Structure 1
């Protein structure tokens, strides 16, 4: 029988963190899941480090050919999923032991919910906490999907968090064509909003995932590119879903998205050395 949940991990040059990531998944209190890991032709020893997990019957390891950026690896590993629900966890992030248990319970209790999310903790390369209980922009419990998507636009930020925070119904993800790759820097948020056009959202106020900050994630140029892509995503969402967003919503959301990109850039500069792996002087770039 297919598992209830498919946890998929697209890995790329995550040798410093991949074992902690997989251990956080394999120690879940909810046991009916499969774990699929796809290494995207890493140039470090990520592939070698994950071989010790191959004997676990819940685990399947695979490789993705080089090229195509994050969308290629996310799509490749997701296509292999067989569970009713799907959670993507990047190769350096963590989930709380009760993450699957609590999210599956919430969605099983509300069949109209297509996506649930929780708050998350931001950690550095040494797994030290930087800040806790981030995300959701004040949303709690059951919410109409369109309301949640609109909220994300008008605050100019991904209120749903990184993929480790999110659990989706696999059939809903397939209905929207999988991971949206028109704006690669916001592949997660645009996919969430696409899914939320077809059902409700459930917000869990607990912090059940940890997102690891990396100093390679935010250059000045990247901040500019990301904010430009967020703005394009806002306007595409509005055009494809008439009545969802007003002109005022778009103006507010676009301005806040541009401002937030540079706020994040300044925060990464301030964190500086904290985001360097403890045993490595060389930063690993993410796909």
Structure 2
């Protein structure tokens, strides 16, 4: 029989962190899950490090040919999922031991919910806490999906957090078209909003995931690329879902998205001064 949850891990040059990531998943209090890991032709020893997990009958290891960036690996590993629910965890992030238990319980209790998300903790390359209980923009509990998607636009930020924070019904994820890759820097937020057009949202106030920050990219050019892609995503979402967003919503969201891109850049510059060069390892979009 298929497991209740599929946890998929797209890995790329994550040798320093991949074992901690997989250990956090395998330590879940909710045990009815499969763990699928796809290494995207890493040039470090990521593939060698994950071999010790091959003997675990919950785990399946695979490789993705080079090319196509993060969307190619995210899609490849997700296609192998068989569970009712889907969670993607990047190869250097962590989830709390009760993450699956609490998210599955929320969605089982609310069958109309297509996506749940928790807050998250931001950590550095050494696992030190940078910021706690981030995300959700004040949303708690059961919310209409369109309300949650609109909230994300008008605050100009991905309120749902990184994929490790999110659990989706796999059938609704597939109905929404899978991972949306038109704007690679916001592949996660695009996808979450597309799914939320199909049902309700549930916000859990607990911090159930940890996102590992990197100062590997913090140029002015990157900040501009990120904000441009967020703005294009806002307008595509509005065009594809009439009545969801007003002109005022778009103006406010676009301006805040541009401002937030530069705030993040300043945060990464600060982080870069605190970290040693070997720690600057994570690219937000794979080459």
> Is the counterpart of residue 140 in structure 1 residue 166 in structure 2?
no
**TM-superposition CA deviations, 1:57-116 (whole Å, max 9, x none):** 000000000000000000000000000000000000000000000000000000000000
Q: CA deviation at 1:219?
A: 2.4
Asked whether the 8 Å contact 1:213–1:275 carries over to 2, the reply is no
Q: Which runs of 5+ in 2 are unaligned?
A: none
Q: Report 1:176-215 matches (<5 A).
A: 176-215=176-215
Asked whether the 8 Å contact 1:214–1:276 carries over to 2, the reply is no
What CA distance in whole angstroms lies between the structure 2 residues aligned with 1:162 and 1:98?
Answer: 17
DSSP 3-state at the match of 1:35: strand
CA change 1:99–1:248 in 2 (3 A) is same
Asked whether the 8 Å contact 1:215–1:276 carries over to 2, the reply is no
CA change 1:267–1:178 in 2 (3 A) is same
What CA distance in whole angstroms lies between the structure 2 residues aligned with 1:276 and 1:179?
Answer: 34
What CA distance in whole angstroms lies between the structure 1 residues aligned with 2:75 and 2:202?
Answer: 24
Asked whether the 8 Å contact 1:125–1:274 carries over to 2, the reply is no
RMSD: 1.1
What CA distance in whole angstroms lies between the structure 2 residues aligned with 1:221 and 1:245?
Answer: 28
Which residue of 1 is the match for residue 228 of structure 2?
A: 228
Q: CA deviation at 1:274?
A: 3.7
CA change 1:282–1:162 in 2 (3 A) is closer
Which residue of 2 is the match for residue 79 of structure 1?
A: 79
Which residue of 2 is the match for residue 156 of structure 1?
A: 156
Which residue of 2 is the match for residue 283 of structure 1?
A: 281
What CA distance in whole angstroms lies between the structure 1 residues aligned with 2:186 and 2:57?
Answer: 33
Q: Which runs of 5+ in 1 are unaligned?
A: none
DSSP 3-state at the match of 2:6: strand
CA change 1:221–1:180 in 2 (3 A) is same
What CA distance in whole angstroms lies between the structure 2 residues aligned with 1:204 and 1:73?
Answer: 28
What CA distance in whole angstroms lies between the structure 1 residues aligned with 2:137 and 2:224?
Answer: 23
What CA distance in whole angstroms lies between the structure 1 residues aligned with 2:197 and 2:283?
Answer: 33
Q: CA deviation at 1:283?
A: 3.3
DSSP 3-state at the match of 2:233: helix
Asked whether the 8 Å contact 1:122–1:211 carries over to 2, the reply is yes
What CA distance in whole angstroms lies between the structure 2 residues aligned with 1:176 and 1:281?
Answer: 36
> Is the counterpart of residue 8 in structure 1 residue 16 in structure 2?
no
Asked whether the 8 Å contact 2:178–2:191 carries over to 1, the reply is yes
Which residue of 2 is the match for residue 270 of structure 1?
A: 270
CA change 1:164–1:282 in 2 (3 A) is closer
Asked whether the 8 Å contact 2:21–2:94 carries over to 1, the reply is yes
Q: CA deviation at 1:281?
A: 6.2
Which residue of 2 is the match for residue 216 of structure 1?
A: 216
TM-score by length of 2: 0.97
Q: Report 1:157-172 matches (<5 A).
A: 157-172=157-172
Q: Report 1:84-95 matches (<5 A).
A: 84-95=84-95
Asked whether the 8 Å contact 1:119–1:134 carries over to 2, the reply is yes
Runs of at least 4 residues off by over 3 Å: 273-277, 280-286
> Is the counterpart of residue 64 in structure 1 residue 69 in structure 2?
no
